Amino acid sequence: MITAKKRGLIAFAVAASTLAFGQVNANEEVAALAADPANWAMPTGDYANTRYSKLDEINAGNVKDLKVAWTFSTGVLRGHEGGPLIIGDTMFVHTPFPNRVYSMDLTDEGRINWMYEPKQDPSVIPVMCCDTVNRGLSYADGKVFLYQADATLVALDESNGEVVWSVSNGDAGKGETGTSAPMVFKDKVFVGISGGEFGVQGHMTAYNLSDGSLAWRGYSTGPDDQTLMDPEKTTHLGEPVGVDSGTATWEGDQWKIGGGTTWGWFSYDPDLNLMYYGTGNPSTWNPVQRPGDNRWSMTIFARDVDTGMAKWVYQMTPHDEWDYDGINEMILADQEIGGETVKTLVHFDRNGFGYTLDRESGALLVAEKFDPAVNWATHVDMKTGRPQVVAEYSTHQNGEDVNSTNICPAALGSKDQQPAAYSPKSKLFYVPTNHVCMDYEPFEVEYTAGQPYVGATLSMFPAGRVDGSGTDHLGNFIAWDATTGTIKWSKKEAFSVWGGALATAGDIVFYGTLEGYLKAVSADTGEELYRFKTPSGIIGNVTTWEHDGKQFVGILSGLGGWAGIGFAAGLTGDTDGLGAVGAYKSLSSYTSLGGVLTVFSL
Amino acid sequence: MWCAFFLCHRSVYVCMNSILLTFLKQKTILMKMPLLFTLPLCLGLTFSSQLFSGEEEIPQYVSENGMVDKGTYNGYRRFHGTCHACHGQDAAGSSFAPSLVDALKDMDYAAFTKTVTEGRQATSASGAVSAMPAFAADPNVMKHLDDIYRYLSARSDGVVGTGRPKKIPKKK
């Protein structure tokens, strides 16, 4: 059925002659499919996570004429993150729990070829911290890979939806769950683990495509044989990490329930044979209960795809005191810095700093705030890589049972999982951001397997209440120059921008908003060129493809996720006694729940 | 809420008196026990009498000039340490779990403790399954269950607004 394969092979012939990317090492089929802009063959668009499309039929000049081509209800109400895969004539759409997979026929406006719904114990629902989201599917070798809420990874036959193999990647009874999109690099499929609020020991795991057998697993914390680190060869900013660095900065056995989960996006450089991802918060949220740097939580990992050995790491937020997970995407781009072309990795962290690193050596090149409101640290020391924490906002220094106030950003970060895009044409990064601050009070908690292990209470409010501007918007959509660490332009959004961006060769950038708008803006100026209000709030990622010579743009609506928790009833400030002071903006007055795919064309 | 405040005071008062009377009757040296000693003892006794009495005592919040007692304040903290992940900031609900400000209007203390302890699952007309976990094994919830109830009932009664409530200052 998948005429895509033919299409992919044709594309591969073209791709192989024109692209250095995707050489013999890489999984040729997937690399070829992704190189053809008619497809959207992996959740991130490409290995480099740029979310850039070469399609330009829809462009800055005509995007105002964009119209809805067709729509599709997923039949599921919860938060819809991620986006569909498009391969030739077939589209694959996923949903949050119960994790349905639809195969749809693009020659017939999305008529359903088959639907798969796994049987899962509903008790997994409440052990997912922030709604039962799922960030997408992967495809390779005639199989569609679904990573279920209960941490089961299944390979489905793309032609009929039958299970080819199935493997358990975690125990939901201990709070280990699946939300991230699997990624296929070479002959393996990679999955992370969620559960940082349940004291999970985070890990990255590779399974062999052919039969689902375990290839390797690298933990975020633990002794060297668990973290897959070489004390001499694995480096942190050029220095060897030393023996058992994954336990050395923890007290006692806390590392075993130390978090460092891996629920974000993964990228891959075929030339360097390295995969990149970030790790999440150390458990618990009460920093007083886990003295030390808590390595390697909050860390960018570069691992060998074949063996899992860590080549280099960089810990962005040692000893986290604010829940600034480091899991956001690592975008790989070759950029001019100081007159030289550098193989860079660009990462917009929850902690509010935009990092540019040399992705070969792990050297830190740029670390600047991508939201001026960020106040928990003055700057990052470029020699040690350590953020210079402001004592007033240190929830550890202020101590247990003390409410530290007006910390920016809030725990949901200056940016969360919503992925940014990079245009090699404009050389700019387009970043959906949050503009929210918080009060944070840590307190003692006890660990019980499978029960929440949080240990802090916090409240969130618009950053304008802290920076003195008095503004009440909760998000910005920005363009960023990662070679210098500067904001080129910034567009205010009423709510946090929780949907992923798409940049195209048509000099436009798309993104979705929590009220439900799909927006297209000029890549150069940020000027709004188009908006359409979809049936529900958007926390999904925009995708584009071509079918029968026509360009389409697709977006999943479906309010939920962490945004759906914090915002369902509006964000309020702290109060003087009774009654809310400051902004009270209810998202429920703009939109309601419901998973719908909306497809646009000219 | 003044009645709750008064009731508590009253029981402590009765308790203190009864201890003093007992001591007087026995004419022991303890009769000279200072008031300062008997007060905490009585507070403890009052608390345990609630625990061991046959009928369930319903935890009450105390509110004075928009400020709340220590328990209600702790309930705010503990709610926002665990429960808010689904039920939202200020218990106002989320896209997938109900507002407890509303729910507590129709839910009594017994139903509250049962739901938190045992959890519950429901399937809506649309077929969506929602699930509340059982917190019986979670000390971070169970040890603070009454305080969480105090906070939520104060929210539900409109006595505590959004955000962090202020604590009634310690009396000298």
Lowest mean pLDDT among A71-80, A562-571, B18-27: B18-27
A347 or A472, which is more confident? A347
In the prediction, which pLDDT does A419 show?
98
Question: What CATH class has B69-163?
Answer: mainly alpha
- Mean of the pLDDT values across residues A466-492? 95
Query: What ipTM does this complex have?
Result: 0.80
- Summarised one tens digit per residue, pLDDT across range B64-73 is 988 999 999 9
- pLDDT for B53 equals 43
CA distances in angstroms from A386 to A83, A319, A404, B70, listed in the order given: 35, 11, 21, 39
* Helix, strand, coil tally for chain B in percent (to 5): 60, 10, 35
Domain ranges of chain A: 3-601
Distance to chain B for A443, nearest Cα, Å: 9
Those residues with Cβ within 8 angstroms of residue A352's Cβ, 6 or more apart along the chain or in another chain? A324, A369, A370, A371, A373, A374, A376, A408, A409, A413, A414
Most A CBs within 10 A among B83, B87, B94, hence the mutation to make, goes to B94
Mean pLDDT, residues B21-49 taken together:
39
Across the beta sheet with A528-533, the strand order is A52-53, A502-504, A508-512, A517-522, A528-533
Query: Rounded to an integer, what distance in angstroms lies between the CA atom of residue A477 and that of residue A538?
Result: 14
- Burial environment of residue A24 by CB neighbours within 10 A (0 to 12, 13 to 18, 19 or more): exposed
Residue B85 is nearest to which of A443, A565, A572, comparing CB atoms?
A565
What span, in angstroms and rounded, lies between the C-alpha atoms of A423 and A523? Answer: 9
Question: Where does A463-527 show beta strands of DSSP type E?
Answer: 475-481, 486-493, 502-504, 508-512, 517-522
pLDDT one-digit tens code per residue, A105-153: 999 999 999 999 999 998 898 888 778 999 999 999 999 999 999 999 9
CB-CB neighbours of B121 under 10 Å? 13
CA distance A316 to A280: 11
Domain boundaries of chain B, sorted by first residue: 15-29+37-50, 69-163
A38: left (phi over 0), alpha (psi -120 to 50) or beta: alpha
User: Distance (Å, rounded) from C-alpha A255 to C-alpha A227?
Assistant: 12
Q: Does domain A3-601 have CATH number 3.40.50.2300?
A: no
Q: Which A residues, 387 through 426, put their C-beta within 8 Å of a C-beta on chain B?
A: 403
pLDDT in tens, A2-11: 554 444 444 4
Cβ distance A320 to A298 under 8 Å?
yes
> According to the model, what pLDDT value does residue A3 have?
52
- Bridge partners of A546? A551
Distance from CA of A208 to the nearest CA of B (A): 33
Look over chain A and give the mean of its residue pLDDT values, rounded to a whole number.
Answer: 92
* Pick among A402, A575, A588 to test the B interface (most B CBs inside 10 A): A575
Segment B47-51 mean pLDDT: 40
| Amino acid at position B15, single letter | C
Question: Considering only CB atoms, which chain A residues are within 8 Å of B89?
Answer: 459-460, 565-566, 569, 571-572
Minimal CA–CA distance to A314: which of A285, A342, A286, A351? A351
3-class SS at B72? helix
Chain B interface includes A574 (CB < 8 A): yes
- Read off the pLDDT band of A470 (50, 70, 90): confident
DSSP code of residue A328: S
Report residue A545 as tokens: 């493809």
What is the spatial distance between Cα A145 and Cα A255, in angstroms, rounded to a whole number? Answer: 31
Which of A126, A446, A560 lies nearest to residue B132, judging by beta carbons? Answer: A126
B121/A122 CB distance under 8 A: yes
**Yes or no, beta carbons of A579 and B65 under 8 Å apart:** no
Per-residue pLDDT of B108-162, as tens digits, reads 999 999 999 999 888 877 777 788 999 999 999 999 999 999 999 999 999 998 8
Q: pLDDT value at position B55?
A: 53
**Which has the minimum average pLDDT: A344-358, A476-490, B82-96, B139-153?**
B82-96
- Nearest CB to B95; choose among A98, A131, A584: A131
Which residues on chain A are in Cβ contact (under 8 Å) with B94? 131, 564-565, 568-569
Strands A539-540 and A81-82: parallel
Q: Do A457 and B76 touch (CB under 8 A)?
A: yes
